[in-house]
């Protein structure tokens, strides 16, 4: 395993580094999931971990998502810090009951913290079809007791995953697979984490705020570049954590720009944009010069054929047009 | 009835069964006085199972009760007041009024995991506790219970199968009380013996008369010893009968009268009293002493519960998250050298050995084709480190290039 040595690494490599470093640092950290051991994970995010840490710490499981999550929860009760891999995040809903009823409620009900991470590749744009492209984050954002992270850069992916492993709560960590090998970034040679629950301003602007996360953050930046050519300065904020949501950063920006567009790859109805719109209505109504607008995927399953999927997904053009419309207010 | 137990062990089993029943009798009274907020689930006639199985565990072992396992909690050391206050939704209850019934636990001292209402979920959880205990070198065994009804859930299968593949030191008690709410066992499972489910997981199983506490204990003890010795999970089917309805609201008229009469004649406490008396382990004086002890204890515990306050309303919004070390200092208790699970000792050759065929390894580098959905771009974009982290303008451009095939170039469209 290469240490951080100054050469740019992919998003995928950043995930691998985070797990490697945390397992190296703390023997309480273990990994369990389908094909994570000998095979090294379907996407090779756990490549080399079994060789280094052995059978007890890298556990190949049967195809049993509820058992993976349940067992990890039990392990956490003895002070371990398990990382569960869902081979594709779509399969997380197979363990929905275990996560939402068992894992999420333990601390509130009987004072039992469950320090565990559930991570896996998510998102579309890669023609994975309706069962390998999901963005199921909002099922879980609606579940008190969980934390939900969805990073957009290798730097954040590594720092947030390390923070998630160290957090005393169950953390869901979504890895947009479109980004796995498409972006590279040089990472610090020294140890770092990124705080959970903090958004970040990726591009400053004064005419409107674009809130986004994961792959759509890059789409939003692309649109912001085009908007700038038309004299519209969009402020782009990467939410990074969806639960808890960084209301402070959102409100601060909207109070400055007076306009807000939310862009997400999740389907529109029940997406985080609706929640943000409500927060802005409650806390910044007087600051808004126009409606809170949304660019999101269609309210359909993710279709397979490239032409259908491209139509289904948001893109920079859609963001650009929505932003222009909003800027007119 | 097994005679190998010591006199004290016999008397312990008897005491806990009597205590179990007396606690539930007290709750019945509280229920009729409208002092119990939610439902009340009875284990009348099933006390031998909760008591006999939990009595086979050591102090360091872990258990997770189901709704009809008050007896197991008492054996593990839970004071009756916790059970009363839980049912009465009091602030002094283990969950401070946030949940009721047997839904509470204790990670620190008694090693009890709280159940939830969804059946079967405890099975993978207790398998996980068992695996973690082994990993930490604690030599513990974990135990939970499931009903005939709960044994049909998907997570029962996932959990027990996973536990079996891991050879987890885990004992599962399948409490077959013949009824899942109103549905008889034959309409749930096409098996004569639910213990046969164990065959599907290649694990050992037992069938025991659930109304014979000494037999239940002896069977559970053997299972716990075998699990601790590394034989893997063990399933015990304890055959019994649910004497009351699913909960207090249910008159259970769907149960044939003859069936009820048959089992009422086999009350586990009455049976055991007969045995203890005939073996001269218990006399009238001894029995009166136990009854007095329980009566005195429960009067005080009930008084405590009745005099306890309800929780302050604003507690409702507290405690969803652990806030960190100030809230819970989480530390694994290591009873083996950590170095055994750290490199270099932990490092291995990662291969699958297939008996009779040799070994196979994972694919690396050029031999690892990219999974669908993970096609790398020809020129991956750099998140530009030369500018402020707050303003990485570069990736947008390069990402646009990398994804031009999939997404229309915004600049061109924008200039239309």
Percent of chain B at pLDDT exceeding 90? 85
Q: How far apart are CA A276 and CA A213, in angstroms?
A: 13
Summarize the confidence of residues B397-402 as an average pLDDT.
44
Any idea which residue has 């082994």 for tokens?
B134
Domains of chain A: residue spans and CATH: 9-185 (3.40.50.970), 200-327 (3.40.50.920)
Is the predicted pLDDT of residue B381 greater than 90, yes or no?
A: no
Is the predicted pLDDT of residue A121 greater than 70, yes or no?
A: yes
Chain A window 100-159: which residues touch B at a Cβ cutoff of 8 Å?
A: 101-102, 105-113, 115, 121, 125-128, 132-133, 144-145, 147, 153-155
A74 and chain B: CB distance < 8 Å anywhere?
yes
Handedness of CA B51, B56, B59, B64 (dihedral sign): negative
Summarize the confidence of residues A273-288 as an average pLDDT.
98
A191 in helix, strand or coil?
coil
What pLDDT does residue A235 have? 98
Instruction: Identify the band that residue B342 occupies on the pLDDT scale cut at 50, 70 and 90.
Output: very high
Q: How far apart are CA B194 and CA B191, in angstroms?
A: 6
List active site positions of A.
Answer: 132
A312 and chain B: CB distance < 8 Å anywhere?
no
What pLDDT does residue A2 have? 43
Is the predicted pLDDT of residue B376 greater than 90, yes or no?
A: no
CA B157 to chain A, closest CA, distance in angstroms equals 9
What pLDDT does residue B380 have? 55
Of A107, A219, A315, the CB nearest to B322: A107
CA B133 to chain A, closest CA, distance in angstroms equals 7
Summarize the confidence of residues B280-305 as an average pLDDT.
98
Tell if the CB–CB gap between A38 and B338 is shorter than 8 Å: no
Q: Is the pTM of this model over 0.90?
A: yes
A77 and chain B: CB distance < 8 Å anywhere?
yes
What pLDDT does residue B383 have? 60
Instruction: Identify the band that residue B363 occupies on the pLDDT scale cut at 50, 70 and 90.
Output: confident
Of A77, A133, A218, the CB nearest to B399: A218
What pLDDT does residue B408 have? 39
What pLDDT does residue B210 have? 98
CA A196 to chain B, closest CA, distance in angstroms equals 12
What pLDDT does residue B379 have? 53
Summarize the confidence of residues A97-124 as an average pLDDT.
98
What pLDDT does residue B201 have? 98
Tell if the CB–CB gap between A28 and B133 is shorter than 8 Å: no
CA B277 to chain A, closest CA, distance in angstroms equals 42
Mean pLDDT over each residue of chain A, to the nearest integer: 97
Percent of chain B at pLDDT exceeding 70? 88
| Chain B neighbors of A72, CB-CB under 8 A | 128
For residues B25 and B2, which has the higher predicted lDDT (pLDDT)?
A: B25
What pLDDT does residue B372 have? 75
Q: To probe the interface with B, which of A71, A167, A238 has the most B CB atoms within 10 Å?
A: A71
Specify the range with the lowest mean pLDDT, choosing from A252-256, B310-314, B372-376.
B372-376
Summarize the confidence of residues A39-49 as an average pLDDT.
95
A1 and chain B: CB distance < 8 Å anywhere?
no
B219-276, pLDDT tens digit by residue?
Answer: 999 999 999 999 999 999 999 999 999 999 999 999 999 999 999 999 999 999 999 9
Instruction: Identify the band that residue B382 occupies on the pLDDT scale cut at 50, 70 and 90.
Output: low
Instruction: Identify the band that residue A131 occupies on the pLDDT scale cut at 50, 70 and 90.
Output: very high
**Cα B185 to Cα A176, B79, B366, distances in angstroms:** 46, 33, 55
Phi-psi region of B402 (alpha: psi -120 to 50; beta: other; left: phi over 0): alpha
- How many other C-beta atoms are found inside a 10 Å radius of the C-beta of residue A317? 20
* Nearest-Cα residue of chain A relative to residue B94: A110
SS3 for A232-276, per residue? CCEEEEECCEEECCCHHHHHHHHHHHCCEEEEEEEECCCCHHHHH
What pLDDT does residue A222 have? 97
Is the predicted pLDDT of residue B405 greater than 90, yes or no?
A: no
Domains of chain B: residue spans and CATH: 7-317 (3.40.50.970)
What pLDDT does residue A201 have? 98
């Amino acid at each position: 395993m290469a240490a951080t040595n100054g050469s740019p690494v992919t998003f995928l490599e950043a995930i691998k580094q985070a797990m490697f470093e945390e397992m190296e640092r703390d023997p309480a950290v273990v990994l369990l999931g389908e094909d994570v051991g000998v095979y090294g994970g379907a996407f090779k995010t756990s490549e080399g971990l079994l060789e280094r840490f052995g059978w007890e710490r890298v556990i190949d499981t049967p195809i049993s998502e509820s058992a993976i999550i349940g067992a990890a929860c039990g392990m956490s009760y003895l002070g371990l810090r398990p990382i569960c891999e869902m081979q594709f995040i779509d399969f997380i809903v197979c363990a929905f009951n275990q996560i939402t009823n068992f894992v999420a409620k333990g601390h509130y009900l009987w004072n039992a913290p469950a320090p565990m991470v559930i991570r896996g590749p998510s998102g579309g744009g890669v023609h994975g079809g309706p069962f390998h492209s999901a963005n199921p984050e909002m099922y879980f954002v609606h579940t008190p007791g969980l934390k939900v992270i969805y990073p957009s850069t290798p730097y954040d992916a590594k720092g947030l995953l390390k923070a998630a492993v160290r957090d005393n709560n169950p953390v869901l960590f979504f890895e947009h697979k479109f980004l796995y090998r498409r972006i590279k970034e040089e990472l610090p040679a020294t140890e770092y984490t990124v705080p959970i629950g903090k958004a970040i301003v990726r591009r400053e602007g004064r005419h409107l705020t674009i809130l986004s996360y994961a792959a759509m953050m890059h789409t939003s930046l692309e649109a912001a570049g085009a908007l700038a050519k038309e004299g519209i300065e969009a402020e782009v904020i990467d939410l990074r954590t969806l639960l808890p949501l960084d209301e402070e950063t959102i409100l601060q920006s909207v109070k400055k720009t007076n306009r807000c567009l939310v862009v997400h790859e999740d389907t529109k109805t029940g997406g985080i944009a609706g929640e943000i719109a409500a927060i802005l209505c409650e806390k910044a109504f007087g600051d808004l010069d126009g409606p809170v607008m949304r660019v999101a995927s269609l309210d359909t399953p993710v279709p397979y054929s490239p032409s259908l999927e491209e139509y289904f997904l948001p893109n920079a053009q859609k963001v650009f047009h929505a932003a222009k419309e909003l800027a007119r207010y | 009835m097994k005679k190998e137990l010591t006199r004290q062990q016999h008397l312990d089993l008897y005491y806990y069964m009597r205590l179990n029943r007396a606690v539930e009798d007290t709750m019945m009274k509280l229920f009729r006085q409208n002092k119990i907020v939610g439902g009340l689930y009875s284990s009348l006639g099933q006390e031998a199972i909760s008591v006999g199985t939990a009595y086979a565990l050591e102090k360091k072992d872990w258990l997770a009760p189901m709704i009809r396992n008050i007896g197991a909690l008492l054996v593990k050391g839970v004071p009756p007041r916790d059970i009363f206050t839980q049912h009465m939704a009091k602030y002094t209850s283990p969950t401070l009024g946030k949940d009721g019934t047997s839904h509470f636990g204790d990670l620190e001292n008694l090693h009890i995991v709280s159940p939830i209402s969804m059946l079967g979920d405890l099975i993978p959880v207790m398998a996980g506790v068992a695996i973690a205990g082994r990993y930490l070198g604690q030599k513990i065994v974990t135990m939970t219970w499931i009903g005939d009804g709960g044994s049909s859930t998907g997570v029962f299968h996932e959990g027990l199968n996973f536990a079996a593949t891991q050879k987890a030191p885990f004992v599962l008690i399948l409490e077959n009380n013949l009824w899942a709410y109103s549905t008889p066992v034959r309409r749930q499972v096409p098996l004569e013996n639910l213990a046969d489910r164990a065959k599907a997981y290649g694990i050992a199983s037992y069938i025991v008369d659930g109304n014979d506490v000494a037999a239940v204990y002896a069977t559970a003890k053997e299972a716990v010893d075998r699990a601790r010795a590394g034989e893997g999970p063990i399933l015990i089917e304890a055959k019994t009968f649910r004497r009351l309805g699913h909960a207090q609201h249910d008159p259970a008229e769907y149960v044939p009268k003859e069936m009820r009469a048959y089992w009422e004649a086999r009350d586990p406490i009455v049976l055991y009293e007969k045995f203890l008396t005939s073996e001269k382990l218990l006399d009238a004086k001894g029995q009166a002493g136990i009854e007095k002890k329980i009566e005195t204890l429960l009067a005080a515990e009930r008084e405590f519960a009745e005099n306890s306050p309800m929780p302050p309303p604003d507690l409702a919004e507290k405690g969803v998250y652990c806030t960190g070390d100030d809230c819970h200092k989480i530390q694994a208790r290591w009873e083996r050298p950590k170095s055994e699970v750290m490199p270099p000792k932990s490092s291995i050759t990662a291969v699958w050995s297939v008996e009779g065929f040799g070994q196979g390894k994972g694919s690396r580098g050029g031999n690892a084709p990219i999974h669908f959905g993970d096609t790398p771009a020809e020129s991956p974009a750099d998140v530009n480190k030369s500018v402020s982290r707050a303003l990485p303008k570069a990736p947008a451009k390069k990402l646009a290039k990398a994804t031009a095939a999939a997404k229309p170039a915004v600049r061109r469209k924008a200039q239309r």
